Amino acid sequence: MRILLTNDDGIHAPGFAVLESIAAKLSDDIWMVAPAEEQSGAGHSLTLSRPIRLRKHGDRKYSVSGTPTDAVMMALAHVMKDNPPDLILSGVNRGANLAEDVTYSGTVSAAMEGALAGLRSIALSQVYSREGLGDQVPFAAAEAWAERVLRPLMEAPFTPGTLINVNFPAMEPDAIKGVRVCRQGIRDYGRLRIVERTDPRGYRYYWFGLAPTVETPGHVTDLEVVADGYVAVTPLYLDLTHEPGLDLLADRFGENVR
């Protein structure tokens, strides 16, 4: 199996090295194309207003001066155009990609780009606690559990237009209770925290922060699954059409959309 590795934390990120070691357990045909620098929060953005630079770091290892989407597009349309991958793995992200995070996440968006190309694509993220800051985030949970999660996913039937989002909880591997397939959650946007501070020159600046999670009945979303000590596996669908809205709006315009 030929595997393409990418991420949004950059080619030199510790989590990318973790992903390489995980992929090595699955195949010896591994290619790496990732952003040259951190692109967290880049979402599914594409660089159109400036040229893209491609740098080779070794055999089958490249960096791109752009977004995660740029990296996947460059991999599929240029670097690997004559030998496309069978699987795309994106991550291992430093931090969770849960709930509405998937719309901001470069990690998930790289997998989205792979899904758009018709390839089996999986995003992997390591949740961390407040004690795991900077590059000191522990990836032990991802290292220990990734293969156990990936092998069943690779053997499962692939539905075109879909991708899989995996989040490993912030705990020691032996403390993890197992794997749960779950829905994408959503946070209460009204609880978004904005921290205001003042720089040494007297100008204000702001940091965005997340407030406590709002729980749902039955703990059925990815937010609660990882909080309960499980690896969260969530299938995502690229078609964002709201099916009930088709008929509702068709009635408004007197059209039949079926």
The binding site for a divalent metal cation comprises: 8-9, 40, 93
**H or E stretch including 74?**
helix 68-74
Cα–Cα distance, 34 to 68 (Å, whole number) = 7
> How is 102-168 classified by DSSP, letter by letter?
HHH-HHHHHHHHHHHTT-EEEEEEE---TTS-GGG---HHHHHHHHHHHHHHHHSPP-TTEEEEEEE
For residue 48, what are its two tokens?
Answer: 């159109």
Cα–Cα distance, 12 to 175 (Å, whole number) = 29
Cβ distance 214 to 222 under 8 Å? no
Cα–Cα distance, 233 to 90 (Å, whole number) = 14
